[in-house]
Amino acid sequence: MLRKRLSHSTAVAAIAAAAFVLTGPAPATAEDDVIVIGSITTLEGPFATGGQDAYRAMEMAFEEIDYTIAGKRIEWIRESSDAQADVALARARKLIEQDDVDIIIGPLSGAEGIALRDYSRTLEGKTIVNGSSGAADTTLRDPSPNFFRFNTEGTQWTAGLGNYVYDELGVDHVALVAADYAFPYAQVMGFMLEYCAAGGAVTKLWSPLNTTDFGSIIANIPEDAGAIVLIQGGTDALAFLTQYAETGGDRPIIGGSITADQTLLSARGPHQRLMEGMVAAGPIADLNDDPMWIEWVEAYRERFPDGFDSPSIHAFNYYTNTKAVLLALEEVDGDLSDNQAAFQEALANVEFQNPMGANVRLDHNRQAISDIFLTRVVNDGGTMRTEAFGTTEGVTQSMGMDEEEFLALGSPSRDNPDCPPGS
């Protein structure tokens, strides 16, 4: 099995935001001497700032190898989506059918990932590697042989959180405020499997993606709910927290993985009162004493002085998936012949450490197994950051359960799982 540690570039030139939707370096003159990598992230809609950060991280990964693998030059073609599955699918078709890319890295959001997983099954001699999307079923059910995901997914990201809220915080009833689509369903399942088994009760309050007015949801938060579990990200999370703060809300906030992230922590406003002390879980923490993380954050800050204070979860995931692609390409000397058979075999067997210093390997569904961190938002000298205070090592997609038993629980959805108040 291939094992690698990551290396880090300290390139210093800054790029303008407009460059995120332009193609990468000019292609080589001979077709055999170029590997064409296409990418899709969300540069429009509620996760646009996270998508921009994703492309910063990909740029770092390519610059570390000077856009060259085994003497072959990498051409990078970038596309933008808006977190909608149909748009991501259209961008993927364009990359394959018009640009003739060899590999796609992306997308960012959950429903987009399922759409690209399904599309990958129609392709021959092409590979799709996830960007940051975290819907569970993308790889857990009906996986595609040429879709790979080196980031852990939404269910895995909540490992340890449900037990912590019930056992350590002593909260026996939470109000769940979550976006109504595939990724939050996975996060909710991971949290509720632990929390409900411990004896907790959950009141679910769903909102469509791109909600701007959370007044009715705030009004329906039960009086006896001891905390709010917020599985929202981007502008949706900002809107809820701002409006809740403006009503004088003071319940503790338990964050989803994309809530406790620099895309939100870096924003100023009344919501920050609620975020300080917020407990969450996920694959990343701003404050982590692992040397790999410290080095990577320093390289990011030097390369992108106008970026976030610390790389976002989307930057982390896109970088991790991009590094996996580059390591596998290095293993096969850039050989993509025979419908990419050797490359895909190398990709399936890559094992390395991500920037948090956590080991990453794939299971039989080509889904990452890696560590998950409990985090707390702290005011670090006037800057809001997440700090890791606990680790669950080697989290599998079935959350440590037998896979058949886990699959029998059914796909995560609005109604699955359920433990209503009084259960």
Could you tell me if 153 and 103 are in contact, meaning their C-beta atoms sit under 8 angstroms apart? no
- Total tally of structural domains belonging to the chain: 2
Question: In angstroms, rounded to a whole number, what is the distance separating the alpha carbons of residues 228 and 212?
Answer: 18
CA 228 from chain center: how many Å?
22
Taking every pair of Cα atoms in the chain, the longest distance, rounded to a whole number of angstroms, is 68
Q: What is the DSSP string of 290-313?
A: -HHHHHHHHHHHHH-TTS-SS--H
Residues 124 and 14 in one domain: yes
**Which DSSP symbol is given to 219?**
H
74 assigned to some structural domain:
yes
Whether 253 and 281 share a structural domain: yes
- The answer to the question of residue 164 being in a domain is yes
Are 137 and 167 found together in one domain?
A: no
Which pair of tokens denotes residue 22?
């332009």
pLDDT of residue 31: 60
Averaged pLDDT, 157-181: 97
pLDDT digits (tens, 9 = 90+) for 253-311: 999 988 988 878 888 888 889 999 999 999 999 999 999 999 999 999 999 999 999 99
Decide if 418 is inside a domain.
no
pLDDT tens readout for residues 52-103: 999 999 999 999 999 999 999 999 999 999 999 999 999 999 999 999 999 9
One domain, residues 204 and 68: no
For 104-129, the pLDDT digits (tens) are 999 999 899 999 999 999 999 999 99
User: Which CATH number does the domain housing residue 43 bear?
Assistant: 3.40.50.2300
Domain membership flag for residue 279: yes
CA torsion angle for 283, 110, 137, 403 (degrees, to 10)?
10
Q: Is residue 423 part of a domain?
A: no
Q: Are residues 276 and 137 in the same domain?
A: no
Mean pLDDT on 384-405: 95
Same domain, 277 and 400: yes
Calpha distance 324→170 (Å, rounded): 40
Instruction: Say if residue 94 is in the same domain as residue 20.
Output: yes
Q: 240 and 97 in one domain?
A: no
- Which helix (DSSP H) or strand (DSSP E) does residue 229 occupy? strand 227-231
DSSP, collapsed to helix, strand or coil, labels residue 54 as helix
Specify if 420 maps to a domain. Answer: no
Note whether 251 and 229 are within 8 A (CB): no
| CA distances, 98 to each of 22, 266, 284 (Å) | 15, 38, 36
Q: Are residues 403 and 331 in the same domain?
A: no
Q: Quick count: other Cβ atoms within 10 Å of Cβ 194?
A: 20
Q: Which domain holds residue 181?
A: 156-287+372-407
**Strand bridging mode 279-282 / 368-380:** antiparallel
Average pLDDT over all residues of the chain: 91
SS3 332: coil
414 lies in some domain: no
Please tell me whether residues 73 and 175 are part of one structural domain: no
pTM of model > 0.85:
yes
Side-chain-facing half-sphere of 258: CA atoms under 13 Å: 34
